[in-house]
Amino acid sequence: MPWLSITLELDPQQAEALSEALLETGADSVALDPAGAQMRVTALAGAGADPAALVARAAAAAGLPRPAFTVARLEDADWVRRSQSQFGPLQVGDRLWIVPSWHTPPDPGAIVVRLDPGLAFGTGSHASTRLVLKYLEKHVRKADRVLDYGCGSGILAIVAAKLGAGEVAAVDIDPQALETAAANASHNGVGLRVAAPESLPAGKFDLVLANILAGPLITLEPLLAARTRKGGRIVLSGILESQAAEVAAAYARDFDSGVLALEEGWALVGGERK
């Protein structure tokens, strides 16, 4: 089916607030990318959506004045062609490659994750995702129980499983993301427990991952802390460098939290459960 691509440029704080509101008010997916001093917000919506109404609802929900935006129509075939032209094999770290299905893995000896771009967030191309992938490559342990909270495409959970984690759970509030994550796990030959948050059985994890946005991450601190065993680790992404201190402070009551890495204006925040 065809899609509408809605693009806006705002300051980083407004962009984060609006991106959350766009998802809450009807957008199918939203991506954030640095654009100089601004942040570019790109939202996808069905062809029958009213972009002006969607942006107006989101701006009102976020408490912002209605911003200027542009709209482009994206046919299914155009989406595929654009995706295939933009997404080639991506090396992350020393051993890990993210490879779309239409490419041959460049290094036969590498750890390869087969993943095609789609509506669920997470192809490895965004700096916030790469930060977590690089962390996983160095720090996943064989017996780790891993939780990927807000799994999107499932890329983080799949990589953790490929790197030898003992048990991996992937949760998301979006049913489409859960379906995509389950399909991607199957294509990569790994087993994940894929579930909505309320359906995940009780239990604690050695490593909790969340690549979302700063606002939701701060709100989720009690929930994510409750899911992390004492001495376990939490790794948080989707955080602008300017927001890192605020997120780290929110997690400081339960974690020895701090900034773990920076890349292209994005921060990786995490630490050990007290």
CATH of the domain at 131: 3.40.50.150
- pLDDT, residue 249, reads 97
Q: What is the pLDDT along the chain (274 residues), one digit of tens a residue?
A: 678 889 999 988 888 888 878 877 888 777 777 788 888 888 888 888 999 999 999 998 888 899 999 998 876 555 444 544 455 677 888 888 888 776 777 777 788 888 765 544 555 567 888 899 999 999 999 989 999 999 988 999 999 999 999 999 999 988 888 998 999 999 999 999 999 999 999 999 999 999 988 888 999 999 999 999 999 999 999 888 889 999 999 999 999 999 999 998 889 999 999 9
Q: Please name every residue paired with 43 in a beta bridge, in sequence order, or none if there are none.
A: 6, 30
Looking at the structure, tell me whether residues 71 and 156 fall in a common domain.
Answer: no
- pLDDT, residue 1, reads 60
CB 263 within 8 A of CB 127: yes
Looking at the structure, tell me whether residues 131 and 76 fall in a common domain.
Answer: no
Strand 266-273 to 255-263 pairing: antiparallel
Looking at the structure, tell me whether residues 38 and 152 fall in a common domain.
Answer: no
Looking at the structure, tell me whether residues 78 and 126 fall in a common domain.
Answer: no
Distance from first CA to last CA of the chain, Å, rounded? 49
Which residue, among 207, 264, 219, 212, has the nearest Cα to 246 in the 3D structure? 219
Q: Compute the distance between CA of residue 51 and CA of residue 227 in angstroms, rounded to an integer.
A: 38
Looking at the structure, tell me whether residues 48 and 127 fall in a common domain.
Answer: no
Strand 96-99 to 111-114 pairing: parallel
Q: Compute the distance between CA of residue 251 and CA of residue 208 in angstroms, rounded to an integer.
A: 13
Reading the block at residue 125, the tokens are 């191309």
Looking at the structure, tell me whether residues 213 and 147 fall in a common domain.
Answer: yes
Looking at the structure, tell me whether residues 266 and 167 fall in a common domain.
Answer: yes
Residue 21's SS3 state is helix
Which residue, among 216, 124, 198, has the nearest Cα to 162 in the 3D structure? 124
Looking at the structure, tell me whether residues 150 and 269 fall in a common domain.
Answer: yes
Q: Give the Cβ contact number of residue 118 at 10 Å.
A: 18
Which residue, among 95, 169, 156, has the nearest Cα to 124 in the 3D structure? 156
Reading the block at residue 267, the tokens are 């921060």
Looking at the structure, tell me whether residues 47 and 173 fall in a common domain.
Answer: no
Q: 245-253 long-range CB contacts below 8 Å, 24 or more apart? A: 246/214, 246/218, 247/214, 247/217, 247/218, 250/217, 250/218, 250/221, 251/221, 251/225, 253/221
Q: How many domains does the chain have?
A: 2
Looking at the structure, tell me whether residues 131 and 10 fall in a common domain.
Answer: no
Domain assignment present for residue 93? The answer is: no
Which residue, among 165, 168, 143, 164, has the nearest Cα to 154 in the 3D structure? 168
Looking at the structure, tell me whether residues 137 and 234 fall in a common domain.
Answer: yes
- pLDDT, residue 111, reads 86
Looking at the structure, tell me whether residues 147 and 55 fall in a common domain.
Answer: no
- pLDDT, residue 178, reads 92
Domain assignment present for residue 48? The answer is: yes
Range of the domain at 74: 3-82
C-alpha distances out from residue 31 to 38, 83, 140, Å? 14, 14, 27
